[in-house]
Every structure is written in C-alpha cells, then in structure tokens.
Amino acid sequence: EVQLVQSGAELKKPGESLKISCKGSGYSFITYWIAWVRQMPGKGLEWMGIIYPGDSDTRYGPSFQGQVTISVDKSTNTAYLQWSSLKASDTAIYYCARREQQLVGDFYHYYMDVWGKGTTVTVSS
C-alpha cells in the first residue's frame, strides 16, 4: 500500500525550533516529488513547497521562502519540514503529499495523489 506517514502532533513555544517528518512507503520514494501544504485553523490549503528526493531539488512558495526549510533523507525515505524559530502564526495542520504525474495527450499533468494524515503544530506561550 502506498502511504505517507507523518510524525505526531507538536506543542511548542514561540522561538523554539521544530522538524516534522513524512515517511513514504509502498513506492519508489526517490522518483516522486513530495509537497508540503499548510492549513491554518478554519482556513484553506496553502502550498508551501516541494522537494524531489532523487536530487533534493526544492522549490518554495513565495510566502514560505526563508521561513521554513524542506529537506529529505533518501536512506530512510523521509521528507522533513523544519522551522528555526516558531511563531504563534505557525499554528496549523501541515500535510505532506506525493506529486503524481499523468500523461494526457502530449503533456504531463501534476496533482497530489497520496496525502499524509497531517501533523498538528500548536505554538503557544
């Protein structure tokens, strides 16, 4: 079974660091991009960034560039999202998701086909 298993909920204080994880199994981990998506309480989905485990090529959404770091460990099939100094506004659910590609006509189309269950991060003093 193809799945992404995310690390557990976190309760942190402002200014603390944090690294959450997303472990892939049931497929060739290094050949699919992994994205991170934020969902703040009661709000919509925000695309944070994406990494290719094969070579660690990483892209960030404009709002998240410099605010978080996305990384990967190929040896353990695990992607990571980390903060060096958390803020209360980082309180959210964070999802990882696999990017699938399908050939439609002559072009490849991309979408998130497998999602983790989400990691709830609460930042409060």
Question: Which range of residues in 7-15, 16-24, 68-76, 110-118 is near other proteins by CB under 8 A?
Answer: 110-118
Judged by CB under 8 A, does residue 66 bind other proteins? no
CB of 82 or CB of 101, closer to other proteins: 101
Judged by CB under 8 A, does residue 32 bind other proteins? no
76: region left, alpha or beta (phi > 0 left; psi from -120 to 50 alpha): alpha
Closest contact distance (angstroms) between CB of 23 and other proteins is: 15
CA 5, 53, 67, 101 dihedral sign is: negative
Question: Which range of residues in 15-23, 66-74, 75-83, 94-102 is near other proteins by CB under 8 A?
Answer: 94-102
Judged by CB under 8 A, does residue 12 bind other proteins? no
Query: DSSP assignment of 68-116, as one string?
Result: -EEEEEGGGTEEEEEESS--GGG-EEEEEEEEEEEEETTEEEEEEEEE-
